[in-house]
Amino acid sequence: MPAQQDSQQELRTQLKELLVSTLRLEDVKPEDLDEEAPLFAPDNRLGLDSLCALELLSAIEFTFKVRFANDGSARQHFESIATLAAFVASARP
Amino acid sequence: MAITAHQALVTGGTKGIGRAVVRRLAREGHAVVAVYHSDDATREDAAREFSEARLQVGFERADLSNPEEVAGLFERLTEMGHSPELLVNAGEFTGDAPIAFLGETDVDAVLDANLRATFLTCQQAVKVMAHRRFGRIINFTSPEAMLAGEGQLAHAVSKAGVLGLTRALAREVGHLGITVNAVSPGVVRTEMTPLSVTRLEAFVRLTPLQRAGTADEIAGMVNMLCEDGAGYITGQCLAIDGGLS
Q: Which of A71-80, B25-34, B146-155 has the highest mean pLDDT?
A: B25-34
Whether residue B185 lies inside any domain: the answer is: yes
CATH of the domain at B47: 3.40.50.720
Whether residue B1 lies inside any domain: the answer is: no
Domain span holding position B75 = 7-240
The pLDDT of residue A8: 86
CATH of the domain at A45: 1.10.1200.10
Domain count, chain A: 1
Question: SS3 helix, strand, coil % of chain A, rounded to 5?
Answer: 55, 0, 45
The pLDDT of residue B145: 86
B210: left (phi over 0), alpha (psi -120 to 50) or beta: left
What is the nearest CA distance from B41 to chain A, expressed in angstroms?
A: 31
Yes or no: say if B88 and B10 are a contact pair by the CB < 8 Å rule. Answer: yes
**Does the pLDDT value for residue B70 go beyond 60?**
yes
CB atoms inside a 10 Å sphere around CB A76: 9
Rg (CA), chain B: 17
Least CB-CB distance to A55: which of B71, B120, B130?
Answer: B130
Q: Do A51 and B124 make contact, defined as CB atoms within 8 angstroms?
A: no
- The H or E element containing residue B74 is helix B67-79
Whether residue B245 lies inside any domain: the answer is: no
Which amino acid is it at B45? D
Q: Any chain A CB within 8 A of the CB of B126?
A: yes
Distance CA B149, CA B144 (A): 6
What is the nearest CA distance from A21 to chain B, expressed in angstroms?
A: 13
Chains A, B: CB pairs < 8 Å? 31
Portion 128-167 of B in contact with A at CB < 8 A: 128, 130-131
Least CB-CB distance to A70: which of B123, B131, B172?
Answer: B123
Beta bridge partners of B34: B10, B59
* Average pLDDT score over chain B: 93
Yes or no: say if B139 and B158 are a contact pair by the CB < 8 Å rule. Answer: no
Considering only CB atoms, which chain B residues are within 8 Å of A58? 126-128, 130-131
Distance CA A24, CA A39 (A): 15
Considering only CB atoms, which chain B residues are within 8 Å of A51? 172, 175
The pLDDT of residue B150: 76
The nearest alpha carbon in chain A to B176 belongs to A55
Alpha helices for B98-213 (secondary structure H): 104-111, 117-132, 144-147, 153-173, 197-206
E-strand stretches of chain A: none
Q: Do B127 and A61 make contact, defined as CB atoms within 8 angstroms?
A: yes
Strand order in the sheet with B31-36: B57-61, B31-36, B7-11, B86-89, B135-140, B178-185, B237-240
Q: Any chain A CB within 8 A of the CB of B194?
A: no
Average pLDDT on B83-103 reads 88
Q: Over the stretch B190-231, which tens digit does the pLDDT of each residue have?
A: 876 666 677 788 889 999 999 999 999 999 999 999 999 999
Domain span holding position A39 = 2-91
Output the pTM of the full model: 0.91
Least CB-CB distance to A58: which of B67, B120, B130?
Answer: B130
Considering only CB atoms, which chain A residues are within 8 Å of B130? 54-55, 57-58
Q: Do B67 and A71 make contact, defined as CB atoms within 8 angstroms?
A: yes
Q: Is the dihedral of CA B77, A58, B86, B119 positive or negative?
A: positive
Domain count, chain B: 1
**Does the pLDDT value for residue B2 go beyond 60?**
no
Q: Do B130 and A61 make contact, defined as CB atoms within 8 angstroms?
A: no
